[in-house]
Amino acid sequence: MFYESIGMLLGGAAESLAAGADDASGDEREARRRRQITTLVRRLGAVWTDLFAALAEETAILEATLAGALQAARANELPVPPSAGGAAPADPLERYRAVMRELDELLIGFHAREEEAWAGEAVRRVRRGLADAAEVQGRIVDAMLAA
């Protein structure tokens, strides 16, 4: 309930900003800034409740991608990040960052051995996972722009 109410509060704040736009000092730059802030707050409020589910969905895609990448690395005796397989951070954003860091480290290793067929295939699978995760972000951006 708390997290859902933040979205409503952001939407209400945007409406308040929009209503107060006529009270601006007449400075065009200030008026434009107020419109930009109003638009940003309105759009953020419109997608607020979807952000948590999108982060979870994107992280799940990336974790599956990471699992496949780790399997390929281990099968081909490529060193894996020291944090791989460790306890996942409880904070969803920290987990997202950790997964992205681990994927980045693995990609460096894959590229170092790109002459080997398995490494090229591993890079393609990671890129596909990243593209799938980006589609989740794209849906949120589309929803924001539609608000």
Q: What is the DSSP letter of 1?
A: -
Give pTM, 2 decimals: 0.80
pLDDT tens sequence for the chain (147 residues): 455 566 777 777 777 777 766 555 667 877 787 888 888 888 888 888 898 999 999 999 999 999 999 999 999 999 988 877 677 889 998 999 999 999 999 999 999 998 999 999 999 999 999 999 999 999 998 998 898
Q: Please count the structural domains in the chain.
A: 1
Residue 91 sits in which domain range?
Answer: 2-146
Tokens encoding 49: 């409740």
Round to whole Å and give the CA distance between 8 and 3.
9
